Structure 1
Amino acid sequence: MTLSLNSTLKLPNGIILKNRIAKSAMSENMASKNHCANSRFATLYRRWANGGAGLLISGNIMIDSRYLGEPNNIVLEKGRSNEAIREWTRAGTENGTHLWAQLNHPGKQSPKFLSKEPVAPSAIALKAPLDRMFNTPRELTNEEIEEIIERFATAAKLAKDLGFTGVQIHGAHGYLVSQFLSPHHNRRSDKWGGSLENRMRFVVSIYKAIRDAVGLEFPIAIKINSADFQKGGFSQEDSMEVVKVLSELGMDLIEISGGSYESQEMMGTTKKESTRKREAYFADYCEQVRKIVKTPIMLTGGFRSLKGMNEALEQEACDLVGLGRSLVLNPEFPNQLMAGEDVKSEVHFLTTGWKIMDNIFPLEITWYTQQIHRMGKGLDPKPKMSVKASVLYTLISMGVDGLKRVRG
């Protein structure tokens, strides 16, 4: 059968996605002060749902209000009322769309201004210059690890009850699950560290706890690194073994990404020209994984054109195409692609024109976050929005002290 973006996808548990396009997770960073949803989430996700994607995955939803990745994260935990999420999930599931909650714990990647004492598998600091932004973490106790596993399960059950149609475990980009998998970040000598079997025990336990909480028919996915791209870190060989184990356990969808704060492969800035021309950053890895697992694979990173996406599907590099920034700049992109229009992603290189400013300011975060916030207010994105104006706006809204907090 020849696959195209318009083809449906049946997951292992029988759930059917209406097409092969998914919005990958991007942090909205616009929760209310109490870390609850508000009407802007419904406005934003209604726009994306009607844009045509078969699956929308939320930005980071934290499982513990004590440990946040960003100041305006949504939190799902026991004892916290978050009924406003129902408006969000109703809007995000319009048009036959699935909306899944991405569940996360940042581990050591919780900034200094949010966590005086972050936690991690081991007390290993992030390398310079990130050590200026993130405090050295405290090693988790066995009891705390078990509590975090239970928190993932609790958050998943809450997500189901509030109208999300699935959940995704964030196991990539250097957050806590990723930290446990990495021999660089995880130097424990107990059952949670050492061998790969021990290092994957955390994510395996999370999956099993969530499955017990939500049942067999509710989709559970994971976002996992193909590798950390860091010396002594999580390797491709390790990744393939973890993916194989999770697939055999019954994971419904596996999204492949790569890198971390310390090695930002997920942004594509270090990729070879030949890889960029092929568009999919991690396609070679996915083709190898497809030989050893039956679970559907979602590939995110680098897709820019209908041709590139269809080639990835036809060559069986993936089952689902993940798009992120492209949908921020053009929420109608999926509809246009599936109509066969000659449309390309509007993602482009961001620069202020000043190298020093580009190096010290997180342009890829602030500029795209402002676009997301525009859509949350019911406005159209502005692909040609001035990068300098974006920097100025951020400085005015955050102040100099706020910028110091972002940059460390």
Structure 2
Amino acid sequence: MLDTPLTLPCGAVLPNRLAKAAMTEGLATPDGAPTPELERLYGLWSDGGAGLLLTGNVIVDRDHLERPGNVVIERAPDAALAAALARWAKAGTRGGNHLWAQISHGGRQVRKDVNPAPRSASDVQLALPGGQFARPVPLTREEIADLVTRWAVAAEACREAGFTGVQVHAAHGYLVSQFLSPRTNLRRDEYGGDLANRARFLLDIVRAVRAAVGPDFPVSVKLNSADFQKGGFDFRDSLTVVKWLEQASVDLIEISGGTYEQPKLMGIEGMEAEERQDVAPSTASREAYFVDFAKAMQAEVAVPLMVTGGFRSRAAMEQALQIGAADVIGLGRPMCVMTDAPRRLIEGLERLPRYEDGLEVIPGWLGFLRRLQVMKAVNGFAGMAWFYHQLWQLGHQGTSEPGKAPFSAFLALERRNRAILAARAG
């Protein structure tokens, strides 16, 4: 079942049901161009047997990076950038798989050292400790229209370079998600208010991208099943938007969830209690985070759905496909170490390792510290840095480094971030 091809609405065919989910790589040049390290990383993943590889954030505005080291396409690429994109695409498709570029904009989720005056739907600042994120400036109508065009330009550039599809990132609290959420979108114009207005930016982007790439090129959207925050974008909103996206000729919708404030997908506790959603539970959801949301959506739409987050056993993946909760299974963290995880699963591997177990800076015996909110964040972000380090190692050395200590990985990540930002400024 995992090796069954999937024909998308546009006619493109995924060779199997396993995808390497988008993970931020941080391996571009300071100017945002793909590098030999990105080529090496995606070559390894292409050899690993997944039917689909999704890139990390390809940013449409260099002043709104998701993190230092993002690839940036903010206008039609010059010859050098076009050639670098083509080399990346060639390496990432050498196994006969699809390679889709995830096109994104950080919005208010941009660190102050990248941009002290980020743009967003409204001026709602991230409610996180540490002061790393500035209060955003609301986008003007003219800036919104310009961003829609940038998404289309980036999509067309990726098609020209040899990518086989694109994904619009409308999840995890980045800019498009900020427009969708009533917590972060307080606008009183045609982009704010009811859900139809809040979804206008996303639907404008999808229409512009489709016009730029044509009817036979896969266009995907990554969408939150919910933000899991009180008063935020909830499951009923998400289901309605999925129906609109189906009407807008989207080929695959990836169901995810959470934001920086409520980072459900990353396994980090948020700054507030998780807002429960009215979705019936199933046995399949015990392993994978968003299966139940996708299953509820599949009852009302026909567009193919991809579910990412938490999958480790082949049995759970096959069950999700069998019950109609997913058409594609996304794998993330396991592929930071086991780059050929899809091939192994197809050949009969029963369970993937949980590399995240034991990646804690604050050990269990210091229970009183572990209960502090700031310590929960330290543990969570150190664990994330460990996975970022594995991608850095794969890109530079071709092999992972599972023995790396999480806190050491965190310090190394910060050093690399500072170096990239210094090079940008210089």
**Shared fold (TM-score greater than 0.5)?**
yes
8 Å contact kept, 2:167–2:219: yes
Which segment drifts farther, 255-264 or 271-280?
271-280
**Structure 2 contact 284–320 (Cα < 8 Å) conserved:** no
Contact preservation (8 Å) 1:301, 1:323: yes
**Contact 1:172–1:224 (CA under 8 A) maintained in structure 2:** yes
Alignment of structure 1 residues 111-190 onto 2, 5 Å:
111-129=111-129, 132-190=131-189
Name the residue aligned to 1:39.
36
Superposed, 1:254-273 pairs within 5 Å as 254-269=253-268
* Residue 322 (structure 2) pairs with residue 314 (structure 1): yes
The answer on 1:65 being equivalent to 2:62 is yes
Moved more, 354-363 or 102-111: 354-363
Please, what TM-score do these two structures have when normalized by structure 2? 0.88
Aligned mates of 1:351, 1:246 — CA distance in 2? 39
Task: Give the counterpart letter for 1:347 in structure 2.
Answer: Y
- Aligned 8 A contact 2:290 2:307 in 1: yes
2 CA distance for matches of 1:37 and 1:379?
A: 17
The CA deviation at 1:346 is 3.4
Deviates most, 267-276 or 159-168? 267-276
Note the 1:47-126 alignment, pairs <5 A.
47-81=44-78, 82=81, 83-126=83-126
Are 1:290 and 2:298 counterparts? yes
Match of 1:405 in 2: none
Q: Distance in 2 between matches of 1:224 and 1:16?
A: 22
Residue deviations 1:276-331, cap 9 Å, x none? Answer: 97311111111110011111000000100111111111111100000100111211
1:377 is aligned to 2:396: yes
Q: Distance in 1 between matches of 2:77 and 2:352?
A: 42
Q: Deviation of residue 154 (structure 1)?
A: 0.6
Does structure 2 conserve the Cα–Cα contact (< 8 Å) formed by 1:330 and 1:346?
A: no
How far 1:399 moved relative to its partner? 7.7
Matches within 5 A, 1:203-218: 203-218=202-217
Larger mean Cα displacement after TM superposition, 390-399 or 248-257: 390-399
Partner of 1:352: 361
Q: Which runs of 5+ in 1 are unaligned?
A: 403-408
CA contact (8 A) 1:329 1:346 kept: no
Correspondence list, 1:326-341, <5 A: 326-341=334-349
Instruction: Structure 2 unaligned segments of length 5 or more: list them.
Output: 364-369, 422-426
Which runs of at least 4 in structure 1 moved beyond 3 Å after TM superposition? 268-277, 353-361, 391-400
Distance of aligned partners of 1:116 and 1:286 in 2 relative to their CA distance in 1, 3 Å threshold = same
Using the TM superposition, give the Cα deviation of residue 274 of structure 1 relative to its aligned residue in structure 2, in angstroms. Answer: 8.7
Displacement after TM superposition at 1:43 (Å): 0.5
Identity %: 41
Cα distance in structure 1, aligned partners of 2:174 and 2:52: 23
Deviation at residue 126 of structure 1 after TM alignment: 1.1
Query: Which amino acid is the alignment partner of residue 17 of structure 2?
Result: R
Q: How far off is 1:69 after superposition? A: 1.6
Structure 1 residues 343-381: Cα deviation after superposition (integer angstroms, max 9, x where no partner): 423332211245576643621331111100111023321
Question: What is the total number of aligned residue pairs between the two structures?
Answer: 397
Q: Higher mean Cα deviation, 367-376 or 76-85?
A: 76-85
**1:346/1:384 CA distance change after superposition, 3 Å:** farther
Query: TM-score scaled by structure 1?
Result: 0.92
The answer to whether the 8 Å contact 2:383/2:406 transfers is no
Change in Cα spacing, 1:384 to 1:305, as seen in structure 2 (3 Å) is: farther
**Alpha-carbon spacing, 1:171–1:332, altered in 2? closer, same or farther (3 Å):** same
